[in-house]
């Protein structure tokens, strides 16, 4: 059987940095060529970054994407890399009107290009356009209706893009009809918990359906609230995993494949079994197999365990948000509680402890151990510690309100949080730090946060992490330190203490919220699974708690809309995934 050495380059790119992304691609192709690769695969929209959102609606951006692709082809040849065949994602313009969706020629497409010998030898666009969860691709793109089949070294290779793999029928069906020996799928598939298991199962299923080996390359890195986990994989038609890359790190995965020789010349329209027709378009780069060579041993990287995977996703998303938005340092309030402790450790792991500034801001209700616990954590991780008591500032505000009767209850409590927010934003302005907020998903769901107080900031690392998971991750991170022979970053006293906002005497979270293990179970069903009241009761949740939690969640929508972005780790986060009206009279009763 003919042989082929394929390189899957899972890289971290930046949306809009076409020049920088192209340079990164050339670098990766150079490394792959040096390792003897014949075919190099880059992720979906690697040239433009993904998701580019409304940038793709600007004609200037689409024009720049196309021009950069052409330059990339020439630059690869000029760098002596023209003999390597490269598949890369970019944004293209639809060459013809698309009557079935009523959009004219020139509309943007999520496209794949095949480059060889200084030229773009084939182009095609994603057929299936996802319009669920975090995806809005019907808003941006028009679908493609061709499947390029490239004959390279005597092997027929079908090229598909991301969602074409996730939907039944479509290009995978056409790949089988075209009798390809290899299906390549370029992806920008965002991370969510346990998705690696689902992804592997899907790739196995589609390889069997295509009757061909399938090579799946994915992006890595953070883009706003999305995180891409890599996990590139190559699977044989019988479902066996031939090679698999790691998670969350840039990597060049090399695999030697024995593939069937090309025999079919079928071209033209094929029923895709999804109520559409896709045309097979064939291009020959080289019809003759290469000389036989000794294959290298492929690498199959072990998967991270559940908590390690989640933690890596959060660190990756935090690091890339800071780096790609050109911040060098961060600042956050360190209260002595578990949430801010975990965020501080995440930040240190993301950008280095020297770049993490933590501020203790005790008020009259702060316990002594909260301050000492916070200072101890800062010492353990090596963060830059400052102590700025806010008692006198709060008193000055209270005197200002004395003439109108003063502040009471929640208004008085929230004043303390807002003073802290003002201090952190002032430090941000003065030193150029990015302010990290420390609220978790349970608090955000129930509105248990202060607007313009603890919600003030630029990025929210644990926005999609429930309180129960905060404890799990904190214990996991300490265990990781122990296995490395390091000091546990989070003092046990912080993990063990009952959670409290410390905005009133003796205050505990459970004075106002159900126990977090109970609350989080209801939130998972109501927020993530979209279960209504009757379904929640049928699932066994307490009726009074269901009514209470639904009310809290529904009333806090306006707060969530003003919260900063944070890494998505769950099947449904507050942000792209869950879009409810702020002004909303509907209540699930």
pLDDT 10s digits, 521-557? 999 999 999 999 999 999 999 999 999 999 999 999 9
Out of 162, 192, 200, 441, pick the active-site residue.
162
Distance CA(199)–CA(203), nearest Å, equals 6
Cα 438-439-445 angle, rounded to 5 deg? 165
Dihedral sign (CA 225, 556, 516, 456): positive
Do residues 159 and 114 lie in contact, with contact meaning Cβ atoms separated by under 8 Å? yes
Q: Which of 126, 441, 467, 572 is catalytic?
A: 126
Q: Which residues of the chain have pLDDT under 70?
A: 99-102, 366, 500-509, 511, 589
3-class DSSP assignment, residue 443: helix
d(CA 65, CA 88): 12
CATH among 3.20.20.70, 3.40.220.10, 3.40.50.620, 3.40.50.300 for 306-505: 3.40.50.620
d(C-alpha 39, C-alpha 8), whole Å: 9
3-state secondary structure of 566: coil
Residue 204 is classified by DSSP as: H
Within the chain, all domains assigned CATH 3.40.50.620 are found at 306-505
Annotated active-site residue 137? The verdict is no
460: how many CB neighbours lie within 10 A of its CB?
A: 28
Query: How many C-beta atoms surround the C-beta of residue 489 within 10 A?
Result: 22
- Residue 106: its pLDDT value, please? 84
Helix (H, G, I), strand (E, B) or coil at 388: coil
Nearest CA among 301, 210, 291 for reference residue 255: 301
Element housing 91 (H / E): strand 85-93
Token pair in block for residue 494: 């912080």
Rounded to an integer, what distance in angstroms lies between the CA atom of residue 317 and that of residue 469? 17
The CATH-assigned architecture of domain 3-284 is 4-Layer Sandwich (3.60)
Q: Give yes or no: 44 in active site.
A: yes
Q: Torsions phi, psi of 413, nearest 5? A: -60, -45
Question: How far is residue 378's CA from residue 375's CA, in Å, rounded to a whole number?
Answer: 5
pTM across the whole model? 0.94
Q: What is the predicted pLDDT for the residue at 368?
A: 72
Is 175 one of the catalytic residues?
no
The strand pairing partners of 173, in sequence order, are: none
User: b/e for 102-132, b at 16 or more Cβ within 10 A?
Assistant: eeeeebbbbbbbbbbeeebbbbbbbbbbeee
In the chain, residues under CATH classification 3.60.110.10 are 3-284
């Amino acid at each position: 059987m003919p042989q082929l050495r394929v390189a899957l380059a899972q890289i971290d790119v930046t949306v809009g940095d076409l020049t920088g992304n192209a340079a990164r691609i050339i670098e990766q192709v150079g490394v792959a060529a040096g390792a003897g690769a014949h075919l190099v695969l880059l992720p979906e929209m690697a040239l433009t970054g993904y998701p580019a959102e409304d940038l793709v609606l600007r004609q200037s951006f689409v024009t720049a994407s196309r021009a950069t692709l052409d330059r990339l082809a020439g630059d690869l040849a000029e760098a002596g890399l023209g003999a390597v065949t490269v598949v890369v994602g970019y944004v293209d313009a639809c060459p013809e009107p698309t009557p079935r969706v009523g959009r004219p020629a020139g509309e943007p497409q999520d496209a794949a290009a095949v480059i060889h010998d200084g030229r773009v030898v084939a182009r095609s666009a994603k057929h299936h356009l996802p319009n669920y969860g975090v995806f809005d691709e019907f808003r941006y793109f028009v679908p493609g209706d061709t499947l390029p089949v490239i004959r390279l070294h005597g092997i027929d290779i079908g090229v598909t893009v991301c969602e074409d793999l996730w939907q039944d029928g479509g290009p995978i069906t056409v790949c089988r009809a075209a009798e390809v020996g290899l299906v390549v799928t370029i992806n920008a598939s965002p991370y969510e918990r346990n998705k690696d298991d689902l992804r592997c199962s899907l790739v196995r299923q589609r390889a069997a359906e295509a009757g061909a080996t399938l090579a799946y390359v994915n992006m890595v890195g953070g883009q706003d609230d999305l995180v891409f986990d890599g996990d590139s994989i190559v699977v044989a038609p019988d479902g066996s995993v031939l090679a698999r890359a790691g998670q969350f790190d840039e990597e060049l995965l090399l695999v030697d494949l024995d593939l069937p020789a090309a025999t079919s010349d079928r071209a033209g329209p094929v029923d895709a079994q999804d109520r559409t027709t896709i045309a097979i378009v064939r291009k020959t780069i080289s019809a003759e197999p290469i000389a036989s060579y000794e294959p290298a041993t492929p690498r199959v990287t072990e998967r991270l365990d559940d908590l390690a995977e989640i933690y890596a996703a959060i660190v990756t998303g935090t690091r890339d948000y800071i780096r790609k938005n050109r911040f060098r340092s961060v600042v956050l309030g360190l209260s002595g509680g578990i949430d801010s402790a975990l965020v501080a450790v995440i930040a240190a792991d993301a950008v280095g402890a020297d770049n993490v500034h933590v501020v203790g801001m005790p008020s009259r209700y702060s316990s002594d151990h909260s301050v000492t616990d916070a200072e101890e954590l800062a010492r353990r991780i090596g963060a830059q510690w400052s102590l700025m008591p806010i008692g006198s500032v709060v008193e000055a505000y209270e005197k200002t309100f004395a003439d109108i009767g003063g502040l009471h209850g929640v208004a008085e409590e929230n004043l303390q949080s807002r003073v802290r927010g003002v201090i952190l934003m002032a430090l941000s302005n003065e030193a150029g730090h990015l302010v990290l907020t420390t609220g978790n998903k349970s608090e955000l769901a129930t509105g248990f946060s202060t607007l313009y107080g603890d919600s003030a900031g630029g990025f929210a690392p644990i926005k999609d992490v429930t309180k129960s998971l905060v404890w799990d991750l904190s214990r996991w991170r300490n265990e990781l330190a122990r296995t490395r022979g390091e000091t546990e970053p989070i003092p046990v006293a912080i993990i063990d203490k009952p959670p409290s906002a410390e905005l009133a005497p003796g205050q505990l979270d459970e004075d106002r919220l159900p126990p977090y293990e109970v609350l989080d179970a209801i939130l998972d069903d109501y927020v993530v699974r979209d279960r209504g009241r009757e379904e929640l009761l049928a699932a066994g949740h307490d009726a009074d708690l269901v009514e209470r939690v639904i009310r809290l969640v529904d009333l806090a929508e306006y707060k969530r809309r003003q919260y900063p972005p944070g890494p998505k780790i769950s099947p449904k986060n507050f942000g792209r995934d869950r879009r409810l009206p702020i002004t909303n009279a509907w209540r699930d009763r």
